[in-house]
Amino acid sequence: MNAGTHRPTIIEVDAQAIRENIHQELARMDRKSDLFAVVKADGYGHGLVQVAKFVSEAGATGFCVAILDEALELRTAGFTQPILILGIVEPKYAQLLAEQKISVAVGSCDWLKKAAPFVHGDEPVRVHLALDTGMGRIGFQDQDELKTALDYLQTHSDQFLFEGIFTHFATADETDDQYFKLQLSRFNAFMDVLPQRPRYVHVANSATSLWHKVCEGNMIRFGIALYGMNPSGKALSTPYKLKPAMAVTSELVFTKLLKKGRSVGYGATYTAQQDEWIGTLPIGYADGYPRCLQGFHVLVDGQSCEIVGRICMDQLMIRLPHDYTVGTKVVLVGKSGEQEIKMEDVAEAAHTISYEIACGFAPRIPRIYLHEEKS
């Protein structure tokens, strides 16, 4: 997709905010633990390679991604740090994993057996065994399955390196911790099976690292919080202030005085109850700004302006307090004067989570990086 460099809609990514979020987490961590930055999904919409650079500068010692292609992009960009793929990779790519020294999540002994014929040479495949303690996504579900895989790894140590073991908590960002405790007990039962711990033992995503200190891991998978967003939305307060890294802005490209009784947008779902000024912005649902946000607001000159009419594919309309000149800046996510719209606010209005909103902004919105060079 071509970036829309000839229109005034942009995403600004503050590199210093990302660095500071990393610094704050590192300050709370055990010094013997590693922080792997989760940069999957194009760095949650912030830019994969750029974010990897910023977090490396800030002290992250490795990366987590979701798919092999993301890991390969990091290697191509010159990053030599450990990379862990959290999703399942087809066994036929095992040799590529080994050659590129990319670690992979494995959730069954069957995967190891299918991958073994593809592994040859001096480098083994670095394996992190995934434990399904209650997420229900990938991973070993009982101790016997895990024992079988451990035995296989031991007898095939020339092909596979047992580098890590991990699980993922489903409710670490919720006030009720009963299910979290159930998962933790299951994880501890799995750990009792191990003859010895591998290099990495990791259970902590952003939410777990922020609100739970009961896990004896030595690596944190730091994701949404590094971008300055609260994993719980607004349910829990973070132990330190997160700095949002992403701002989404546009400009008024058209204004008009809409007469009382005239309507706006598809379906004519908004009708002016009096004469009012309407502004048009060049951003829509094709850019990842959800269509359901009719009735939400943006910021113009520090003032809240309601989105009126249905959001179009490439444009949306807002009600202005008075006429503004074409070219006036409009903030969809970020600060304007004393007002601020956080990603969590947009997500709440769209009945979803901030992750989805941030990841959903399309590539045709250019990313502009602020404070790229360390001060």
Of 92, 113, 181, 266, catalytic:
266
pLDDT at 216 over 80: no
Sign, Cα dihedral of 135, 207, 21, 349:
positive
Provide CB contacts within 8 A for 17, sequence distance 6+: 228, 243, 244, 245
Q: Which of 90, 129, 86, 87 is nearest to 108 (CA)?
A: 129
Of 40, 53, 93, 270, catalytic:
40
DSSP code for 93 = G
Give me the mean pLDDT over the 8-22 stretch: 98
Exposed / middle / buried, residue 58 (Cβ in 10 Å: 0-12, 13-18, 19+): buried
Residue 60: HSE in the Cβ half-sphere, 13 Å Cα cutoff = 29
Distance (Å, rounded) from C-alpha 64 to C-alpha 222?
9
At 295, the pLDDT band (50, 70, 90 cuts) reads very high
pLDDT tens-place string over residues 86-115? 999 999 999 999 999 999 999 999 999 999
pLDDT tens-place string over residues 183-208? 999 999 999 999 999 999 999 999 99
pLDDT at 32: 87
15-227 matches 246-341 in fold: no
Angle among Cα 193, 219, 373 to the nearest 5 degrees reads: 165
pLDDT at 374 over 80: no
Distance (Å, rounded) from C-alpha 63 to C-alpha 138?
20
310 labelled ligand-binding:
no
For the chain, the domains span: 15-227, 246-341
Encoded amino acid at 1, one letter: M
1 labelled ligand-binding:
no
Whether domain 246-341 has CATH 2.40.37.10: the reply is yes
How many helices (H) and strands (E) are present in the chain, helices listed first?
11, 20
pLDDT tens-place string over residues 313-338? 999 999 999 999 999 999 999 999 99
Give me the mean pLDDT over the 216-228 stretch: 94
Active site residue 266: yes
Matching CATH number, 15-227, of 3.40.1110.10, 2.40.10.10, 3.40.109.10, 3.20.20.10: 3.20.20.10
Distance (Å, rounded) from C-alpha 310 to C-alpha 224?
30
Weakest-pLDDT range from 85-89, 127-131, 234-238, 325-329: 234-238
Active site residue 355: no
Is residue 138 within 8 Å of 107, Cβ to Cβ? yes
Encoded amino acid at 77, one letter: A
Give me the mean pLDDT over the 277-305 stretch: 98
Provide CB contacts within 8 A for 123, sequence distance 6+: 98, 99, 101
The reported pTM is: 0.95
